Amino acid sequence: MNPRVKCVSASSDHKLHLEFTNRERGVYDCSPFLGFGVFRELKDLNYFKQARVLDGTVVWPHEQDICPDTLYLDSVKSAKQGAPADARTSRG
């Protein structure tokens, strides 16, 4: 099972800044979906910024949500919190 969403922050460019339960951070771009079905409502930035975490995923007030596996697998990751950017070790 993939990690679940722990924290979310929604930005003005329709991106979700996520922290996952394994301490990884990622950015998920919602803009490709703004023209489809229930996600059209997310075009309104005031509404988009109402994103919150519920049961390990991101939801909005009118029941839009994104699968937590999709958020994890398709987000652009940054280094784990507290880990160096390059954690490789060399053996001599």
Question: What number is the average pLDDT over the span 11-25?
Answer: 98
Residue 79, pLDDT score? 66
Residue 30, amino acid:
C
pLDDT digits (tens, 9 = 90+) for 25-75: 999 999 999 999 999 999 999 999 999 999 999 999 999 999 999 999 999
pTM of the model: 0.84
Q: Which of 41, 38, 45, 44 is nearest to 10 (CA)?
A: 45
Give the span between the Cα atoms of 24 and 61, in whole angstroms.
26
Which residue ranges make up each domain of the chain? 5-78
pLDDT digits (tens, 9 = 90+) for 74-83: 999 986 554 4
Measured CA angle at 63 (ends 58, 64), to 5 deg:
55
CATH of domain 5-78: 3.30.2020.10
Give the span between the Cα atoms of 62 and 89, in whole angstroms.
47
